[in-house]
Structure 1
Amino acid sequence: MSISVTVNEEENLVTIHIIGSFDFSLFNEFREAYSSLPKTYKSYVVDMSMVEYLDSAALGMLLSMRNAIELESDIRLEGANDFIKNILMISRFDKRFDIQ
């Protein structure tokens, strides 16, 4: 389980890649991925294509991210498998995030 960050200055885009289990063990690393950036970007993508497991702590971390980043910035959750996407939809995350 790990997190990596890719910044595309030309597109004003930050992509946070999560690999493995997205759970409380990633709390500090996930928060650091977006809060340590030198500026606010227009778009953020949380790449969940390699996430195998997601728990309620991960949902809380996503909400914390949404609250920490300016509302003018969009956050997309991309690549989640059907099971994780279903959890996100049941939790009504589609109201606060663009889920693809």
Structure 2
Amino acid sequence: MSISVAINDESDQVVITIVGSFDFSLFNDFRESYSDLTRRYNTYIVDMSMVEYLDSAALGMLLSMRNAIDAECHIQLKGANDFIKNILMISRFDKRFDIV
């Protein structure tokens, strides 16, 4: 389980990549991945292509991220497998995030 952050100032975006299980054990690391940045970015991408498991705590962490980042900023949930994408859609996350 790990989180990495890649910043691209030219495209004004941050990519947060999650590997393994996205659960409560990542709470602090995930929050720091977007809250410790030195400035605001236009687009935040949460790369979920390597997430094997997602629980309700992860859903709560995503909602906390959405509430912490300016409303005009875009947050994309990218690369989720079909099972995780289905959970996101059932939870109506498509209303708050761009799911790609």
Same fold (TM over 0.5): yes
Unaligned 5+ runs, structure 2: none
- Name 1:98's counterpart in structure 2: 98
Alpha-carbon deviation of 1:91?
0.1
List aligned pairs for 1:16-55, cutoff 5 A: 16-55=16-55
Match of 1:70, SS? Answer: coil
Match of 2:25, SS? Answer: helix
Amino acid at match of 1:93: F
Unaligned 5+ runs, structure 1: none
Instruction: Give runs of ≥4 in structure 1 deviating > 6 Å.
Output: none
Amino acid at match of 1:51: V
1:87 matched to 2:83: no
TM-score normalized by the length of structure 1 = 1.00
- Name 1:74's counterpart in structure 2: 74
Match of 2:80, SS? Answer: coil
CA distance in 2, matches of 1:40, 1:58: 22
User: RMSD across aligned C-alpha pairs, in angstroms?
Assistant: 0.2
State the number of aligned residues. 100
- Name 1:13's counterpart in structure 2: 13
TM-score normalized by the length of structure 2 = 1.00
Alpha-carbon deviation of 1:82?
0.1
